[in-house]
């Protein structure tokens, strides 16, 4: 730096100190003026850690507004407060003792991040391109069923928040909103997660409708074949005084009567939503009718990943249904490396399960994931505050991810490499 530049920088700092000491300048005014003075500066000035930059405000055990949240976990108590016990139980439940649900997130604590220094990270690019579509972030929204149980605006509110933040989105077969309405709210095509049913005619109709709406990928869920024991849901259901039969009358036709993707379909022959009995022959059959990309969700082993390649699958989502499929105690972040190794870069590998922090995201990307999917966190935001809650969850996770990208010295997603993490 030249002597003249040194002098200008010294003068600027002295002027800022003078303003801060002035009795006529409020802290807000000082910060605003300082921002204008440093705008466009090429000097790397120190970050502010002024605890007073946030408004002084009493916050109880449960946040009352999205802006009060410090992390995405703050939204869960607010969601629990806002929801009937059974609806919260559906969202919170894993299977059996919820041990796999907990293991999904706890496994991240075994992975350390190796940071780098003296890299200019003032400008980073977090965008990622999958199947020719570019998203602002590798944080996608996983399919979650029946979001109308969490908020009246359901998937529409989620899609609107995703549009603003640039997140990709996957819609569930049994979502509360049609793919046409979700696509309109998102302002771009969304992926469609397929529960196949045991009636091929219905399955084929669901695929055709999703593709007609522009869905670039059909995501076949393959981890719900053996049934499940959702004890947490059953336990909280006991505390719900409502007559749940008003909405859950029993029988497949009644169960999907409020699910718009089944409108005008004859479901009289359907007895099972999850297509019990699926084999790799079913994947072959589906591959023949899917015109776009076919994704398998629920793969957690290298054997199944290798088999998926043989059957023309275009991508894999490493998933145990958020700990809601089986009590395997096998966290998805631990399953990720063997799946990545098996596909050897031939197709994208996404992963979900237990993602709560931006640091979780970068760990998965460093271990070979193309993108990650979050489910419960954005639904907590939806249940508590609607669209603003979803937007706040996405903003918090993105802010954390931006921060850790800078700390490892990655300017773009491609710069995130395996040597940035240490496992064990």
SS3 sequence, the chain?
CCHHHHHHHHHHHHHHHHHHHCCCCCHHHHHHHHHHHHCCCCCCCCCCCCHHHCCCCCCCCCCCCHHHCCCHHHHHHHHHHHCCHHHHHHHHCCCCCCHHHHHHHHHHHHEEECCCCCCCCCCCECCEEECCEEECCCEEECCCCCHHHCCCCHHHHHHHHHHHHCCCEEEECCCCCCHHHHHHHHCCCCEEEECCCCCHHHHHHHHHHHHHCCCCEEEEECCCCCCCCCHHHHHHHCCCCCCHHHCCCCCHHHHCCCCHHHCCCCCCCCCCCCCCCCCHHHHHHHHHHCCCEEEEEEECCHHHHHHHHHCCCCEEEECCHHHCCCCCCCCHHHHHHHHHHHHCCCCCEEEECCCCCHHHHHHHHHCCCCEEEECHHHHHHHHHHCHHHHHHHHHHHHHHHHHHHHHHCCCEHHHCCHHHEEEC
Residue 373 — φ and ψ, nearest 5°? -120, 135
At 399 the pLDDT is: 98
- The active-site residue, picked from 87, 105, 151, 321, is 321
Share of the chain above pLDDT 90, in %: 75
User: Is position 63 within any domain?
Assistant: no
At 142 the pLDDT is: 98
Asked if residue 98 and residue 8 are part of one domain, the reply reads: no
Dihedral sign of CA atoms 84, 86, 90, 95 in order: positive
At 97 the pLDDT is: 95
Asked if residue 328 and residue 240 are part of one domain, the reply reads: yes
Q: Is 356 annotated as a binding residue?
A: yes
Q: Which of 180-189, 224-233, 312-321, 333-342 has the lowest mean pLDDT?
A: 224-233
Asked if residue 154 and residue 251 are part of one domain, the reply reads: yes
pLDDT band, very low/low/confident/very high, at 43 (cuts 50, 70, 90): very low
User: Is position 353 within any domain?
Assistant: yes
Q: Is 352 annotated as a binding residue?
A: yes
Q: Taking 50 as the threshold, does the pLDDT of residue 179 lie above it? A: yes
Q: Is 375 annotated as a binding residue?
A: yes
Q: What is the pLDDT of residues 101-149, one digit of tens each?
A: 999 999 999 999 999 999 999 999 999 999 999 999 999 999 999 999 9
User: Is position 168 within any domain?
Assistant: yes
User: Is position 277 within any domain?
Assistant: yes
Q: What is the mean pLDDT of residues 336-345?
A: 98
- By residue range, what is the domain housing residue 34? 3-53
At 391 the pLDDT is: 98
Q: Is 172 annotated as a binding residue?
A: yes
At 167 the pLDDT is: 98
At 19 the pLDDT is: 53
User: Is position 130 within any domain?
Assistant: yes
pLDDT band, very low/low/confident/very high, at 319 (cuts 50, 70, 90): very high
User: Is position 232 within any domain?
Assistant: yes
Asked if residue 119 and residue 7 are part of one domain, the reply reads: no
| Total number of domains constituting the chain | 2
Here the CATH number for the domain that contains residue 289 is: 3.20.20.70
Asked if residue 275 and residue 128 are part of one domain, the reply reads: yes
At 358 the pLDDT is: 98
Query: Do residues 352 and 373 make contact, with C-beta atoms less than 8 angstroms apart?
Result: yes
Point out which residues pair with 111 in neighbouring strands: 423
Asked if residue 187 and residue 73 are part of one domain, the reply reads: yes
Q: What is the pLDDT of residues 383-422, one digit of tens each?
A: 999 999 999 999 999 999 999 999 999 999 999 999 999 9
Asked if residue 313 and residue 259 are part of one domain, the reply reads: yes
At 42 the pLDDT is: 41
**321 catalytic residue (yes or no):** yes
Asked if residue 240 and residue 91 are part of one domain, the reply reads: yes
Q: What is the pLDDT of residues 220-261, one digit of tens each?
A: 999 987 788 899 888 998 988 888 877 777 788 888 888 999
Q: Taking 80 as the threshold, does the pLDDT of residue 26 lie above it? A: no
Asked if residue 43 and residue 93 are part of one domain, the reply reads: no
Q: What is the mean pLDDT of residues 313-335?
A: 96
Q: Is 297 annotated as a binding residue?
A: yes
At 15 the pLDDT is: 52
At 255 the pLDDT is: 81
Q: Is 177 annotated as a binding residue?
A: no
Q: What is the mean pLDDT of residues 1-10?
A: 50
Task: Please give the Cα distance from 162 to 142 (Å, whole number).
Answer: 12
Asked if residue 170 and residue 27 are part of one domain, the reply reads: no
Q: What is the mean pLDDT of the chain?
A: 89
Higher pLDDT among residues 346 and 228, named by residue: 346
Give the predicted TM-score (pTM) of the model. 0.87
Q: Taking 80 as the threshold, does the pLDDT of residue 187 lie above it? A: yes
At 140 the pLDDT is: 98
Share of the chain above pLDDT 70, in %: 87
């Amino acid at each position: 730096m030249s002597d003249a530049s040194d002098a200008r920088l010294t003068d600027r700092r002295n002027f800022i100190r003078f303003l801060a000491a002035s009795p006529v300048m409020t802290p807000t005014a000082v910060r605003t003026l300082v921002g204008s003075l440093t705008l466009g500066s090429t000097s790397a000035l120190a970050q502010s850690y002024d605890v007073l930059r946030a408004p002084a405000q009493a916050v109880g055990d449960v946040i009352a507004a999205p802006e009060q949240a410090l992390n995405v976990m703050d939204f869960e108590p607010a969601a629990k407060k806002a929801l009937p016990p059974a609806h919260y139980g559906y969202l919170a439940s894993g299977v059996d003792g919820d041990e796999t649900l907990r293991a999904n997130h706890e496994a991240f604590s075994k992975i350390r991040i190796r940071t780098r220094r003296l890299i200019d990270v003032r400008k980073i690019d977090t965008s990622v391109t999958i199947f020719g579509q570019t998203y602002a972030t590798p944080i996608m929204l996983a399919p979650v069923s029946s979001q109308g149980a969490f908020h009246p605006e359901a998937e529409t509110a989620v899609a609107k928040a995703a549009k603003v933040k640039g997140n990709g989105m996957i819609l569930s077969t049994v979502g509360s909103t049609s793919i046409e309405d979700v696509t309109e709210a998102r302002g771009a095509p969304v992926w469609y997660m397929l529960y196949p049913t045991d009636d091929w005619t219905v399955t084929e109709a669901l695929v055709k409708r999703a593709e007609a709406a522009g869905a670039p990928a059909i995501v076949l869920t393959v981890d719900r074949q053996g049934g499940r024991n959702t004890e947490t849901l059953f336990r909280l259901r006991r505390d719900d005084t409502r007559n749940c039969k008003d909405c859950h009358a029993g029988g497949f036709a009644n169960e999907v009567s409020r699910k718009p993707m089944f409108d005008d379909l004859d479901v009289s022959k359907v007895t099972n939503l999850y297509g019990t009995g699926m084999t790799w022959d079913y994947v072959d059959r589906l591959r023949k009718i899917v015109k776009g990309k076919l994704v398998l969700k629920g793969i957690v082993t290298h054997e199944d990943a290798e088999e998926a390649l043989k059957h023309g699958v275009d991508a894999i989502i490493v998933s145990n249904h958020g700990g809601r499929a089986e009590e395997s105690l096998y966290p998805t972040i631990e399953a990720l490396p063997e799946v990545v190794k098996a596909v050897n870069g031939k197709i994208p590998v996404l992963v979900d399960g237990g993602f709560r922090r931006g640091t979780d995201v970068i760990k998965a990307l460093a271990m070979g994931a193309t993108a990650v999917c979050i489910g419960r966190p954005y639904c907590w935001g939806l249940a508590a505050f609607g669209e603003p809650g979803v937007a706040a969850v996405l903003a918090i996770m993105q802010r954390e991810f931006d921060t850790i990208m800078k700390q490892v010295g990655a300017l773009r997603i491609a710069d995130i490499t395996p040597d940035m993490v240490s496992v064990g």
